Amino acid sequence: MSAWLANYAAFLSDRQADIWTALREHIVICLIAVLFGAVIAIPVGMLLAGNRKGWLNGLVFTIANILQTVPSLALLAILIPVLGIGRTPAIFALFLYSLMPIMRNTFAGFQAVDPNVIEAARGMGYSTAQRLLQIQLPLAFPYIMSGLRVTTVYIISWATLATLIGAGGLGQLIFSGMGVNKKELIVTGALLAVLLALLADFVLGLAEKWVTVRTKSAPAAGTETAG
Amino acid sequence: MIRFENVNKTYEDGFVALKSINVEFVEGELTVLIGPSGCGKSTLMKHINRLNNPSKGKIYIRDQDISKIDPVELRRKIGYVIQNVGLFPHMTIAKNVIVVPKLLNWDKEKMERKVDELLQLVNLDPQTYRNRYPSELSGGQQQRIGVIRALAAEPDIILLDEPFSALDPISREQLQDELVRLQQELKKTIVFVTHDMDEAIKIADTIVLMKDGEIVQKGTPEQILRHPANEFVKSFIGKKRLASDTFDPDLTLTVDEVMSQHPVTASPGRGMAEAVQFMERQRVDSLIIVGRGKELLGHASIFRVLNRYRDENVKLSDVMQPFDYVVESGSSVALAVALMNEHGLPYIPVVRGSQFVGLVTKGSLVRHLADVYNPDDMSIEELEAESAKLGEEALLSPSPEDGHDLQEGSDRV
């Protein structure tokens, strides 16, 4: 066992540069995908919550749902003729996956705002945009944060497949390990992906708690409707 | 001030919420819109700040057609209070109070002064409450904030949609009193929606009674109580209120109006020492014994209690006597008085079935007479002066000058 550990340590120091590169690539891919996902999905979720046309909401959610059900490997393959190979199609595929959960959580957060609060805001002369941004957005923030957290954890694990279209990342370590039958590579890749996901979950969890306290809007501490 | 001209509201599903409404809300008055649920009173009110828009007809505020005003601008000039308060949970009390001034870009210092001024207006200490969050306040306090939030931008018009109906009875009374006091100071044009007739009578300058999207009657509380337009109004006001608020000698006076509703009662399980102490504290010489369900069991006088005082195991149920005479709720006072007179009773209980509801005593009869014969609550001195004058008048032949004096006297009270 100790011999194995010594071997493993030697391997780590030997392949240090590769490992760091893979980790960095992985983080960059996930970060960009989630970031773009948030930039698109949060406003879309807000708009859907603000509009009163039920069919439009249905349509958008159906499209996002269908995207969600396409197997990730298939999605990556489909994207090759369109976007070629490399980092861009990988990020694009992961971005498509991130849309649905972020949008759904944003929408749910906006829907969960006490209707009395919304009526009061309307009656006192908030315009629709002001109401969405100044009242509903802060109150929906805990929901949005929890959407981001769940999405990030998923994306980190899915991103290991990105290496199949040449995007690099921790998946590269795992697949090359499988290719040359080197367990250390597989273990390192998998372990780092898990640790990265746990770390993201922890940090975003703290952020979620922080906004919840700041906005006094956790579902548990909701407004007293009975007054 | 606010004028509805032939306003109709039909919803998309064909439901007719308002039928050709013509009504005017007078400047500086508190108008109560009242009616059973679904009668359109809230719908009507929400037309004023364009949360609803009429299908037909026009609404004018100060002779300006409000369909030509931007709804957002309009709403910022009209205070709005809703039933479930709707404070913003992520903002402090101070921020909640000044939301509308902030939308109107008021000066920062002016807003801070306004917060303190308004909190003091409803007896909440600014130091304590300014930085709290809505969830840290009681229901009554939250609605106080709801009311001052509507006052913050100094609107001329304030709309209140059943603002107190979700509160407990004590907070409700307090807030009604506060609203009446505020209105005396501020003289705003207030439209207040409620389904509670007691509330309406207490606070309204004018009552507008609605049913099925139409206005049934409009008038002061006094006019509506004295001259209800039809059977619906009568039943909505309630028979009891009609009888007690308009003194009509032709109407049979019932024992319910004369009885004292909270006489001293005790449960049958009490011991003698307890009973004596209780009577001492309440300053009475006998107790009415009622069971758990308020059913009338009997009475025990101080003498009977003292007779058995030595025995520690005796309970009130052992010494009490059943009542020989009771009157049903709703019977005439004449019957109660006749029974008391005939049998020399100091008091007579009023029951509904077997339930004890009140007690007609000599005291409660006198109090009722005082209400009828001295409705203005004149002091003894004033009454003595008046009687003296009447006496003189009876002795001397009345001169024009005396008549004039008397006139002045009654004017003064």
DSSP 3-state assignment of B50? coil
Domain residues of chain B, as ranges? 2-245, 256-368, 376-412
Residue of A nearest to B97 (CA): A124
Contacts of B166 in chain A (CB under 8 A): 226-227
CA torsion, ordered B391, B395, B401, B402, to nearest 10 deg: 10
Residue of A nearest to B98 (CA): A124
The number of C-alpha atoms within 13 Å of A17 and in the hemisphere containing its C-beta is: 1
Region A99-121: mean pLDDT is: 91
Helices B333-343 and B362-373, axial angle in degrees (round to 10): 140
Note which residues in 348-407 of chain B have CB less than 8 A from chain A.
none
DSSP 3-state assignment of B294? coil
CB distance B350 to B357 below 8 Å: yes
Q: What is the pLDDT of residues A7-38, one digit of tens each?
A: 888 888 888 888 899 999 999 999 999 999 99
Contacts of B51 in chain A (CB under 8 A): 119, 122-123
Burial of residue A112 (number of CB atoms within 10 Å: 0-12, 13-18, 19+): middle
CB distance B179 to B167 below 8 Å: no
Binary contact (A223, B167; C-beta < 8 A): no
Binary contact (B86, A117; C-beta < 8 A): yes
- Residue corresponding to tokens 């802060």: A138
- Residue corresponding to tokens 């101070």: B94
Predicted pLDDT at B401: 45
Binary contact (A119, B139; C-beta < 8 A): no
Per the DSSP assignment, residues forming a β-bridge with B18 are B9
Binary contact (A120, B85; C-beta < 8 A): yes
Assess B52–A contact: CB distance below 8 Å, yes or no: no
Question: Burial letters for A205-221: b for 16+ Cβ neighbours within 10 Å, e otherwise?
Answer: eeebeebbeebbbeeee
Binary contact (B85, A215; C-beta < 8 A): no
Q: Which two tokens stand for residue B123?
A: 């007896």
More confident residue, B280 or A122: A122
Binary contact (B82, A116; C-beta < 8 A): yes
Predicted pLDDT at B155: 93
Assess B215–A contact: CB distance below 8 Å, yes or no: no
Q: Which two tokens stand for residue B105?
A: 């870009």
The structural architecture, per CATH, of the domain B256-368 is Roll (3.10)
Q: Which two tokens stand for residue A201?
A: 């979950």
What was the ipTM of the complex prediction?
0.75
- Residue corresponding to tokens 């609803």: B52
Binary contact (B166, A226; C-beta < 8 A): yes
The answer for B28, left when phi > 0, alpha when psi is -120 to 50, beta otherwise, is left
- Residue corresponding to tokens 């069991």: B297
pTM given for the model:
0.65
Distance CA B205, CA B188 (A): 12
Binary contact (A216, B103; C-beta < 8 A): no
Residues 6+ apart with CB under 8 A from A57: A48, A51, A107
Predicted pLDDT at A200: 94
- The phi, psi pair for B287, rounded to 5°, reads -120, 145
Q: What is the pLDDT of residues A199-220, one digit of tens each?
A: 999 999 998 888 777 766 544 3
Tens place of pLDDT per residue across chain B (413 aa): 899 999 999 998 889 999 999 999 999 999 999 998 889 999 999 999 999 999 999 999 999 999 999 999 999 999 999 988 889 999 999 999 999 999 999 999 999 999 999 999 888 999 999 999 998 998 889 999 999 999 999 999 999 999 998 888 888 888 898 899 889 888 999 999 998 888 998 899 999 999 999 999 999 988 888 888 888 888 888 755 654 544 444 456 788 888 887 788 888 888 888 888 888 888 888 888 888 878 888 888 888 888 888 888 888 888 888 888 888 888 888 888 888 888 888 888 998 888 888 888 888 888 877 777 776 777 788 788 877 777 766 665 544 444 444 444 344 43
The structural architecture, per CATH, of the domain A24-217 is Orthogonal Bundle (1.10)
Question: Burial letters for B294-315: b for 16+ Cβ neighbours within 10 Å, e otherwise?
Answer: eebbbbbbeebbeebeeeeebb
Assess B172–A contact: CB distance below 8 Å, yes or no: no
| Residues counted in chain B | 413
Residue among B351, B371, B346, B372 at smallest CA distance from B361: B346
Contacts of B139 in chain A (CB under 8 A): 224, 226-227
| Closest-CA distance of chain B to residue A128, Å | 9
The answer for A128, left when phi > 0, alpha when psi is -120 to 50, beta otherwise, is alpha
The number of C-alpha atoms within 13 Å of B293 and in the hemisphere containing its C-beta is: 6
Predicted pLDDT at A216: 62
DSSP string over chain A: -HHHHHHHHHHHHHHHHHHHHHHHHHHHHHHHHHHHHHHHHHHHHHHHHH---HHHHHHHHHHHHHHHHS-HHHHHHHHHHHH-SSHHHHHHHHHHHHHHHHHHHHHHHHHTS-HHHHHHHHHHT--HHHIIIIIIHHHHHHHHHHHHHHHHHHHHHHGGGGGGGT--SHHHHHHHHHHHT-HHHHHHHHHHHHHHHHHHHHHHHHHHHHHHHHHT--GGG---S--
Contacts of B80 in chain A (CB under 8 A): 120, 123-124
Contacts of B73 in chain A (CB under 8 A): 125
| Closest-CA distance of chain A to residue B226, Å | 36
Mutation to test the A interface, candidates B49, B69, B85, most A Cβ within 10 Å? B85
| Closest-CA distance of chain B to residue A200, Å | 27
Q: Regarding the domain delimited by B2-245, which CATH topology (the fold level of the hierarchy) does it fall under?
A: Rossmann fold (3.40.50)
Contacts of A227 in chain B (CB under 8 A): 83-85, 139, 142-143, 166-167
